[in-house]
Amino acid sequence: MQAPDTPNAAQAGAAPPLSRFGAVLRVTSGNFLEQYDFFLFGFYATFIARTFFPAASEFASLMQTFAVFGAGFLMRPLGAIILGAYIDKVGRRTGLIVTLGIMASGTILIACVPGYATLGMLAPLLVLIGRLLQGFSAGAELGGVSVYLAEMATPGRKGFYTAWQSASQQVAIIVAAALGYILNLLLTPEQTGSWGWRVPFLIGCVIVPFLYILRRSLQETAEFQARRHHPATSEVFRSMLVNWKTVVAGMMMVAMTTTTFYLITVYTPTFGRSVLHLSTADSLVVTFLVGISNFIWLPIGGAVSDRIGRRPLLLFISALAIVTSYPALEWLAHAPSFLRMLTVLLYFSFFFGVYNGAMVAALTEVMPVEVRVAGFSLAYSLATAIFGGFTPAVSTFLIEMTGDKAAPAYWMMFAALCGLVATVVLYRRGGAAELQARLG
């Protein structure tokens, strides 16, 4: 694996704090839109199912909806390779403007498509296309943003800076949950089912121009500008093949964070309503508070990993998730209540925030510098496609097949095991020395 170019520490540290804050805000704006729309799709899954996927049973209808939700994640690896290679070639700024445009197209399509009763089979097909566009864009969005933040970070604070990639997504969760709560108060269930669920999607469309203006004002990173060679797409593909073991191990490391995230955010409203039989308001309040908790823990996890290293944090959280996930979820399922649901999901939020805060920085460090965006994006996208994106569908299936309301914990424990093994592999004696060289 080729050693990275030496970052220009003087340049990285030269920008004033307000300038760096503005850069973080501009680069993470697209992350906000991505997660805002993804969360809405999961939260309004029941209404989307009735609008676009009518079926004989609620289970069948929900499974079709979650399958379309997951299909968007299957496009992520393709977007990671194609758009990730494009970003590694032309630069972070230009590439991230392109990903925002593609993502916005998918959002607008989902918000405006008439239902099955009006368009017949064309309606679910158009929704599927919208999800595929979003997935294709998101495949490189997370990698592009994470690498941008890593390259602009001041020395010794890479974990803290890259944590804001995920933190921006939590703002989207908070905003979406708050909007859902307000609509739940103002509209009847019939109004929400017929047209009210589209309102948050349309609001997402309205903010697209503002996000574009923010991202358009981005400056290219000094590290990318200083690099003498920018690989062609064919070179990126060849390097990805050579480093496939790193990509696979990175995918397994991401599995823990992406599964936990989609379990405690996107799946929570459906789990609360359909499985635990709690009120819609309870589920939304829990999701809102989980978003706040995630936002707090992410930079803490990143900052702590800057002080003690990525490896100890990743191993500790993975092991804790393996041992305690099922007992926590079984305690909730045994006697469902608002307080128990809040307690368990805030506990899982601790898992996600601390682990992800360390993991994102680690993933930018293990990838060869010349294909940093493509490698990061492919590893992240594969994990999201295989684990995170299908977490709502897998959770629904496990509960249906086993009759155990705590069954989603098995999926989370498996993902945590993958994260534990991957951390050991990437940080084995030789790998740890290489990572220290990259950091030092």
Q: Is this prediction's pTM over 0.85?
A: no
pLDDT value at position 224?
66
Mean pLDDT of 148-155: 78
Rounded to the nearest integer, the mean pLDDT of the chain is: 80
The answer on pLDDT for 21 being more than 80 is: no
Cα–Cα distance measured from residue 418 to residue 416, given in angstroms and rounded to the nearest whole number = 5
pLDDT in tens, 94-130: 777 887 888 888 888 888 888 888 888 888 888 888 8
Cα–Cα distance measured from residue 278 to residue 392, given in angstroms and rounded to the nearest whole number = 17
Mean pLDDT of 39-66: 74
Cα–Cα distance measured from residue 357 to residue 158, given in angstroms and rounded to the nearest whole number = 10
Helical residues (DSSP H) of 153-232, grouped into ranges = 158-186, 189-191, 198-216, 222-226
pLDDT in tens, 158-216: 888 888 878 888 888 888 888 888 888 898 888 888 888 889 888 888 888 887 787 77
The answer on pLDDT for 440 being more than 50 is: no
Q: Which CATH number fits domain 9-439: 3.40.50.300, 3.90.580.10, 1.20.1250.20, 3.40.190.10?
A: 1.20.1250.20
Cα–Cα distance measured from residue 131 to residue 125, given in angstroms and rounded to the nearest whole number = 10
% of the chain surpassing 90 pLDDT: 21
pLDDT band at 5 (very low <50, low <70, confident <90, very high): very low
Instruction: Tell me if residue 152 falls in helix, strand or coil.
Output: helix
Which one, of 285, 38, 297, lies nearest residue 177 by Cα?
285
Cα–Cα distance measured from residue 282 to residue 288, given in angstroms and rounded to the nearest whole number = 10
Mean pLDDT of 352-368: 88
Which one, of 134, 31, 84, 74, lies nearest residue 378 by Cα?
84
pLDDT band at 320 (very low <50, low <70, confident <90, very high): very high
pLDDT in tens, 327-345: 999 999 999 999 999 999 9
Cα–Cα distance measured from residue 25 to residue 319, given in angstroms and rounded to the nearest whole number = 33
Backbone angles phi, psi at 390, to 5 degrees: -100, 10
